[in-house]
Structure 1
C-alpha cells in the first residue's frame, strides 16, 4: 500500500507544481497584456507643450491658468515650461518638447527674432506650432494669437493725454527689446500721441517688462526730467515700479498709464496711483491658444491670426 500512496502523492505534487507554473505564466501574460494596453492608452493620449517666456509675471500666470483650464476640459496633458526670460533656456525647453514627441507646441517667445530658429525644427517635423501674445519672426507658425497691441498702444496714448490735460512732457518705459508686444505697443502709442501737439516724449528707455527695473529706470528718468507729468509703461509691472519711484506724486502731479489690466494694476487704478491700464485678457489668450492647437492636431483649418480684444480700464470702470 505504501508504494501506490507515495506514487500518488508524487503525481499530485507534480500536478500542483505544473498547475502553479501554468497559473504563474497565465498571470504574467495577463499582466503583460494589461501593461501593454495601459501603455497604449497612455501613448494615445494627446500631450501638448506651453513654453512661456516667464512665470515671474502675473500676466503669464493668468495665461497659463487659462491654457490649463482648456487642456483639462479637453482631457489632454499640458506640459508647461518657464523660460526665465532667457532665449537659450527656451530653446532647450523646445528641444525637449520635440524629444518628448509632444503632439503640438504653444510658444510665448522670450525674443520674437530668436524664436524663429527655435521652432523651425518643429515646423520641419510637421508638429503644429501656435504663437501666443508674442509673434515668431523668421518662421511660419500655424497660428498667432494675441491682443491687438498696436490698437492698445493707441488707446494708452489717448488715456495718458486725457490724464495730463493733453499737454506736458512724458516718459515711455519700453518692454523687452525684440518682442513683438513691446514693438507694437510702442508703435501704437508713438503714432497716436502725435495727435497731441502739446505733448512731448522726452525720454524712452527699456525696463524689460519688469517691476524692479521699472522702478530703477523711472527713478533715473524722473531725476533727469523732473518736470515730466506722465509715464506710459508698456506693461503693468513696469507701471507699478514707476509708481513706487514717484511716491506721493503718483496720480497727483505725475500720471501713469500701464498695459495688461492685471489685478495689481486694477488695484492701483482704484487707489488713484495709476490713471489707466489697457486690459488684455490673458486667460482668454491661453484658452484660445490651446483650443486652436487642438483643432490643428485634429486636422482642422484655423485662422493664421486670431485677435483678442483689449479695453481701457480707468477709475470709472476698474
Structure 2
C-alpha cells in the first residue's frame, strides 16, 4: 500500500509541475502587461509544497494553479521540500535568487525555519505560512485553521462514543510542529477535563504512516480492548490504519461490538469514503482548497503593499494576532460524520470533479 501511494505521489507532482509550467515567471505570455516579459511583468510569486506523501497535501497542490490563474498571479514553478527542513531552506534561497517577490510555504518543522524567515525579511520578501505557524520569525500572514479545535472536536466525539470510559490510541503528529502540539495538547486537556475515565496511549509519529501502524500493532497486542483511535492526519495515517485493522478482522461496522471508533483530521475524499463505508466515524475537514486560495490571496496582497488587521473577514473566518506582529487567518474546519459526509460544499466532495 505504501509503495503504491508513493508512485501516485510522484505522478501527482509530475502532473502538477506540468499544470503550473504555463504560470512560470519565465513564460512571457503569463508575465502580464503586453506579455513581452519587460518591466510591466507581474511580480513572480513562489510556492513551496511541503510534501508529496500525503493525500491532503497532494490535494492542496492541485488547487494552487487553479487559484493562481483565477487571481491572475504570476506563479513560479513550485518546489517541494519533501518534509525536509534543509530542502525548504535551500528552496527558499533558490526561489529568492530566481526573483520571487513573495513565498508561500508550509514549514513542517516550525522551530527550524526562523533563520530563513529572518533572511527573507531582510530581503523584503514577504512569507505566507500555510497550515503551520512558525515558532519564531516574521511572516506576513499565517493561513491556518484552529488546530486546538481539531483536538477538542476529536476528544468530544470519541468521549461521547465511548461513553466516557475505555482506551484510546492517539497518532500524534510531529511535536516539532505547532500543529502536532496544538492538536495533542487540546486533545489531552479535553480528555482529562471531560472524560477522565478514558485512558490515552499517545504515540508520536512524525507524521509517518508506518510509525502509526507499528504503534497500533503494538498497542493492540498489549490492549486488545482499545475502542478508539484519533488520527491527527488522515492523509498519511488512513491507509495503513485500515490495512492493519482489516488484517485483524477489526474493520467492522459501527453496529458490531468489535468496532473501533476512529476520528481523523484532513477531510480528504478517502476519509469520506471510509465514513460512508462505516470504516471510520468522523474527520475534521481541513480546508485544502481555502488554504491554497487564501495563501495566494495574501501573497499577492503583500506584494501589492496591502495590510490587514485582526477581526472577522468576508470569507467566514477570523484574523487573530498571535503575537510578535504576526497575524493568522483561522479558516473554518467542520467536523464531518455520516450525517453530513455528502455535503456538496465540502472540498473533499468537489476535488477531481
TM-score after normalising by structure 1: 0.83
Q: Which residue of 2 aligns with 1:25?
A: none
Unaligned runs of 5+ in 1: 1-35
Aligned length: 281
- Among candidates 285, 309, 313, match of residue 332 of structure 2: 309
Q: Which residue of 2 aligns with 1:75?
A: 72
Q: Which residue of 2 aligns with 1:129?
A: 127
What is the distance in 1 between the residues matched to 2:97 and 2:232? 36
Q: Does 1:243 align with 2:242?
A: yes
- Does the residue aligned with 1:181 lie in a helix, a strand or coil? helix
**1:210: Cα distance to partner?**
3.1
Q: Does 1:59 align with 2:56?
A: yes
Q: Please give the per-residue CA displacement for 1:52-88, whole angstroms capped at 9, x wherever unaligned.
A: 2202212112222333222111222323111111111
Q: Please give the per-residue CA displacement for 1:111-155, whole angstroms capped at 9, x wherever unaligned.
A: 100111122211111111111101112201111110111011100
Q: Which residue of 2 aligns with 1:145?
A: 143
What is the distance in 2 between the residues matched to 1:265 and 1:45? 39
TM-score after normalising by structure 2: 0.75
Higher deviation after alignment, 298-307 or 210-219: 210-219
- Does the residue aligned with 1:63 lie in a helix, a strand or coil? helix
What is the distance in 2 between the residues matched to 1:122 and 1:186? 31
Q: Does 1:274 align with 2:280?
A: yes
**1:93: Cα distance to partner?**
0.6
- Listed as ranges, the matches of 1:281-292 within 5 Å are 281-292=287-298
- Among candidates 205, 208, 215, match of residue 206 of structure 2: 208
- Does the residue aligned with 1:287 lie in a helix, a strand or coil? helix
Q: Normalized per residue, which structure has more helix?
A: 1
Task: Report if the CA contact (8 A) 2:144-2:331 is conserved.
Answer: yes
RMSD in angstroms over aligned alpha carbons? 1.8
What is the distance in 1 between the residues matched to 2:285 and 2:191? 19
What is the distance in 1 between the residues matched to 2:338 and 2:288? 21
Task: Report if the CA contact (8 A) 2:113-2:134 is conserved.
Answer: yes
- Among candidates 43, 48, 54, match of residue 45 of structure 2: 48
What is the distance in 2 between the residues matched to 1:151 and 1:111? 21
